[in-house]
Structure 1
């Protein structure tokens, strides 16, 4: 698998950076957050503000952000979590994605700094109660411990239907990259495919801002809420320590 010049440079720069920060990382074993039948092992470290380039190198090396932690997966019995990336300038929308755009042409899209507003927290909690009804899941905790951070500037996409908030997408944004952190929506509007619409909105914004790399988190074949990302054509999967282009799988 031949790496692009960009990825080759990122890999070299990350190797130099990693040698200086590796001792900050530790492994933490927990129950799999995606309910797969394996223990999950997070390799993670807490960070203060990072430069745009440092965050770019972490993302290009398959790392993710959760609050003030950066992490990657070191699960001994599972390799289901595969980082996925889009190159917005290459995207070719399929028939279903064009239908989603048409279906949501009445949605107003806002792009603004992350805000732990009452309406955001209410919608987040409604989503969590419907999709992930765990005892300790609540909107305030998600904002305080997950979305807001001291590492890198964060933004959010707000989707409104006649003024009513129906979805919010949390992203990190750099000079040449965008990182999707989380998306929640009104379960009553599930027929609108707002998860797909959120990604389409990110692609459009990346094109406007001349951003070349859009990181979508993990692609997990066995998890429906995570495998729809493969329908974006082409996409790149981080396999064997390199990004591999996957085309025409939609």
Structure 2
């Protein structure tokens, strides 16, 4: 008799009640095994020493502005990512799909729909809730992660590296400018230069590259950056 391969799942949410609810829904589903749950991304990664799940289910709103970086980090670690939301903003949804999310499903979806979405995402298919499709200007974007050449880091100036790391942390150009004592326009200039040097085309690709190169780790989600990274002095030349 042929043995059926089960899809392993990990649930991430800061609310323990929501985590238990998702486990209760997915646990009995055919072909699905819930390996565990955690309140955050860093805790999940630390727990995957023995087995990395096939799919991670989480709500991006719980991660705040660091959601794209968290999704990119999870994908770099191996699992596919299925996001649950009430009704995301169009820009947010595209950023998360480009960061590597395999699917976006309404939180109101039934148990059978959720289980089917998990299996589909695990198989490498893109899943998008029908109610969310009108939020996209065109077809759902496909993430195209590629290995990072860490040698390219040496091409970045100290200021460019600082901007890249803070971008991966989820900060806007204005927020980065305030932290580094430069204008938002100057931040965009540094970011454009960094993208050109690293061979990436978008902010989402830049975040993915940052994870793969080891410039930023999911553990950073657990703490606010203390100051300009990499020893960069505010207002200094880059």
What interval of TM-score do these two structures reach, taking the shorter chain for normalisation? under 0.3
TM-score by length of 1: 0.24
The structure having more radius of gyration, on CA atoms, is: 2
Q: Write 1 or 2 for the structure with the bigger share of strand.
A: 1
Larger RCO (alpha carbons 8 Å, 6+ apart):
1
TM-score by length of 2: 0.25
